[in-house]
Amino acid sequence: MEAITVRYVKSRPKLKEPILIEGLPGVGNVGKLAAEHLLDELKAKKFAEIYSKDFPPQVFVKPDGTVELVKNEFYYYKSKKSGTPDLLILTGDYQGLTTQGQYELSDSILDIAEEFGVKRIFTLGGYGLGRMIKEPGVLGAATDKKLVSEMKKFGIEFREDEPGGGIVGASGLLLGFGALRGMEGICLMGETSGYLVDPKSARAVLVILTKILGVEIDMDELELRAKEIDHIAQQIREMERIQKDKGTGEDLRYIG
């Protein structure tokens, strides 16, 4: 059994130099939320699934009682107006559980990207600040200086020495190894507390990404979810306040 299995669920679509957009689980789940919202709104179509021996050995059970293997998924979107690009969108349930698994996964994703003639990659993620934030900015990192200048025009911030720990996982490796294959790449990181899933941060990332791509999508769904999360965050803060008053200090802040 190979470390990675790619399974086409549709015949390979014909796309013109598509742009690859990656949004897998990570800090605040920002990348995954953004990628999923994008593909929902664009009605992108799934054409391939990726299984890995470094995902958890698990199936999910859906509400109708049927099971589904843990996986990553590739969607495509064919541009409807000239001037906007075709897209490959990658999202999924997990990143690799091991170091090796993360390398293998990125390598397989780039193999597929190369087959489709991808020349540019956007990887989406969250940038954890460890504190609540009202208006999340979007941090960037890119594969070359020209791209950094180009991206600054869209309001992406490039801050010296941030993120200090580099970019870990697919969002980093796809840029690094993509560049070695001649693809340029940009990582968009939405600021987030990192304590809760963060649709507001995902929205901030998508506002910029859609401007760059020249596509328009509705943000209502993300805004609704952002309000729900805001509400939950408020409840948690309230509970913390009460806990503090009582003098017991168990940490309630982290919620998967």
Applying CB under 8 A, among 81, 153, 166, 254 the residue interacting with a copy of itself is 166
Cβ–Cβ < 8 Å for 20, 39: no
| Backbone region of residue 110 per phi and psi (left: phi > 0; alpha: psi in -120 to 50; beta: other values) | alpha
Q: Which stretch binds a copy of itself (CB under 8 A): 73-81, 129-137, 179-187, 222-230?
A: 179-187
Under rule CB under 8 A, residue 64 binds a copy of itself: yes
Applying CB under 8 A, among 48, 121, 133, 187 the residue interacting with a copy of itself is 187
Cβ 58 to a copy of itself shortest distance, Å: 5
For 95, 169, 199, the CA distances from 57, given in Å and listed in that order, are 13, 20, 28
DSSP character for 28? G
**Tokens standing for 155?**
């309001």
- Judged by beta carbon, residue 49 or residue 240, the one nearer a copy of itself is 49
Q: Cα-Cα-Cα-Cα dihedral of 46, 51, 29, 66, to 10°?
A: 70
Cβ–Cβ < 8 Å for 75, 39: yes
User: In this structure, how many other beta carbons lie within 10 angstroms of the beta carbon of residue 207?
Assistant: 17
Cβ–Cβ < 8 Å for 59, 24: no
- Judged by beta carbon, residue 66 or residue 82, the one nearer a copy of itself is 66
Under rule CB under 8 A, residue 69 binds a copy of itself: yes
Cβ 51 to a copy of itself shortest distance, Å: 8
- Judged by beta carbon, residue 69 or residue 207, the one nearer a copy of itself is 69
Cβ 100 to a copy of itself shortest distance, Å: 4
Under rule CB under 8 A, residue 115 binds a copy of itself: no
Q: Which stretch binds a copy of itself (CB under 8 A): 20-28, 93-101, 204-212, 221-229?
A: 93-101
Under rule CB under 8 A, residue 47 binds a copy of itself: no
Under rule CB under 8 A, residue 103 binds a copy of itself: yes
Q: How many of the chain's residues bind a copy of itself (CB under 8 A)?
A: 57
- Judged by beta carbon, residue 4 or residue 15, the one nearer a copy of itself is 4
122 Cβ contact list (under 8 Å, min separation 6): 19, 20, 21, 22, 185, 186, 187, 188, 209, 212
Cβ 16 to a copy of itself shortest distance, Å: 27
124 Cβ contact list (under 8 Å, min separation 6): 21, 22, 23, 30, 31, 34, 35, 171, 187, 188, 189, 190, 202, 205, 209
Under rule CB under 8 A, residue 148 binds a copy of itself: yes
Binding site for a copy of itself (CB under 8 A): 1, 3, 7, 51, 53-61, 63-70, 96-100, 102-104, 106-107, 140-145, 148, 158, 160-163, 165-169, 172-173, 175-177, 179-180, 185, 187
